[in-house]
Amino acid sequence: MSNHTATRLRTLLALALVTLIAAPLGIAADLVWTPETGWKSEGGILTGLTGPDGRNALALMNAARKEEEAGKTKDAIKSYERVGKRYGNSIYAPEAMYRAATLRFERNEFPKAFTDYQTVVSRYPNTTRFNQIIGEQYIIAAAYLNGARSPFLWIFPGFTNREKAIQYFETILFNAPYSEYAPLCLMHIAAGHQRIGNTNESLYALDRLINNYGHSTLTPEAYIKIADIYASLVDGADYDQGATKEAVTYYEDFMILYPNDPHIVQAEKGLRKMKEIMAQSKINIADFYFKKRANYKAARVFYNEAITVFPDSDIAARARKRLEEVEVAAAKATQTPKKRKRNSWVSSEPINDFQLPHMSPIGPIGRMGLMVLSPFEI
């Protein structure tokens, strides 16, 4: 056998092996159920099982559907999940796990329903129900974000769990990063973090939305939300202005990028408030240097910065008036010579060496006109 023929045979065997492995997992087949025939595969796709396994899987699927139709939901769920576990490589498994998840969802068993849906998406990403499953997962995550409670002991309502909602939205984002649900998930992730007090995580989610989904209809809202969050962190003109600067940046970016957006009035109002606080902060610093330190150079710098931050405002007018006062004070300071202070411990009278020295607990009067004082005389 030539090398060329051997190579061709190996290639054909490899392709056949890949096809056999991928058939039950990657090829989507339609399963149809009727009361007369039970579950039946359409399109000529093999079930992925042969012999007793194939017959047992089909029998279990038919039994599960009959239980479902009879209203025996718990029994149907168990049967469907048994198909998924025992016959995971068959075409019955995706449909079985999907139906189990749907029945759990109808029973408000949201965590287990989400898990079963995720099993289908993870194991069978080519399932024809992919978009439908992502939509169901989104509904579950949104329900938890809005305060849904899973039953406790099948009777009592449980506790709200918005951390789980955030986790679910992140899972959906991972499953379908290019779907229409992706930017929605990031918006809800941001809202969830904000509700439980994780401000930095909320800002990060909104930033991901802006950077990864810039053409989404939710991007303008993400800009305004980031600006509003930073604005809510501002404590006033007497504190650090880092959050104020960030809010100004996002308000300005929003107004430049989306001048016709309905939130433009809200952005203008927020920007004005932030600029007022930032300009007042500059004036407060300038007043300190002017009135407390007589540092006219530093005072000029900060008064001018206040004018630059918000030029057409009452604060800017006040800064200009203070600058005039600074110039007057600086002029007076240059005209008035500074008086030299004399230290109290230096005697202005010369000491006669023949005078009787003044005695103190420390010692006599020193030479060169220095008077040594006791601690009681200081």
pLDDT tens column, 266-310:
999 999 999 999 999 999 999 999 999 999 999 999 999 999 999
pLDDT at 23: 40
CA-CA distance, 248 to 163, in Å (whole number)? 31
Is the pLDDT reported for residue 155 higher than 90? no
Residue at 25: amino acid letter: L
3-state secondary structure of 104: helix
CA dihedral 119, 120, 126, 127 (to 10 degrees): 180
- Domain spans of the chain? 16-128
Percentage of residues in the chain with pLDDT exceeding 90?
Answer: 67
**Residue pair 249/237 in contact by the 8 Å Cβ criterion:** no
pLDDT at 149: 67
Residue count of the chain = 378
pLDDT at 51: 65
CA-CA distance, 105 to 137, in Å (whole number)? 10
Residue whose structure tokens are 């109290």: 344
Arithmetic mean of pLDDT, 358-368: 44
Residue whose structure tokens are 């005697």: 347
Full-model pTM: 0.77
Tokens for 370? 């220095």
Which class for 178: exposed (0-12), middle (13-18), buried (19 or more C-beta within 10 A)? exposed
**Residue pair 80/99 in contact by the 8 Å Cβ criterion:** yes
Beta bridge partners of 133: none
Q: Please choose, from the candidates 77, 134, 124, 85, the residue with its C-alpha nearest in 3D space to the C-alpha of residue 101.
A: 77
Residue at 179: amino acid letter: S
Question: How many CA atoms does the CB half-sphere of 192 hold within 13 Å?
Answer: 25
3-state secondary structure of 275: helix
**Residue pair 162/195 in contact by the 8 Å Cβ criterion:** yes
The residues, ordered by sequence, that sit 6+ positions from 324 with a Cβ below 8 Å of its Cβ are none
pLDDT at 142: 96
Is the pLDDT reported for residue 80 higher than 80? yes
CA-CA distance, 285 to 303, in Å (whole number)? 9
pLDDT tens column, 222-231:
999 999 999 9
In which element (H, E) is residue 313 found? none
CA atoms 240, 190, 253, 265: torsion sign: negative
pLDDT at 365: 43
Residue at 174: amino acid letter: F
Greatest alpha-carbon span in the chain: 138
- Number of helices (H) and strands (E), helices first, in the chain? 14, 4
pLDDT tens column, 21-58:
444 444 445 788 888 788 887 754 555 555 677 788 88
Could you tell me the CATH superfamily of domain 16-128?
Tetratricopeptide repeat domain (1.25.40.10)
Indicate the range of 141-145, 220-224, 365-369 predicted with least confidence: 365-369
pLDDT at 50: 59
Tokens for 208? 């991901």
**Residue pair 369/346 in contact by the 8 Å Cβ criterion:** yes
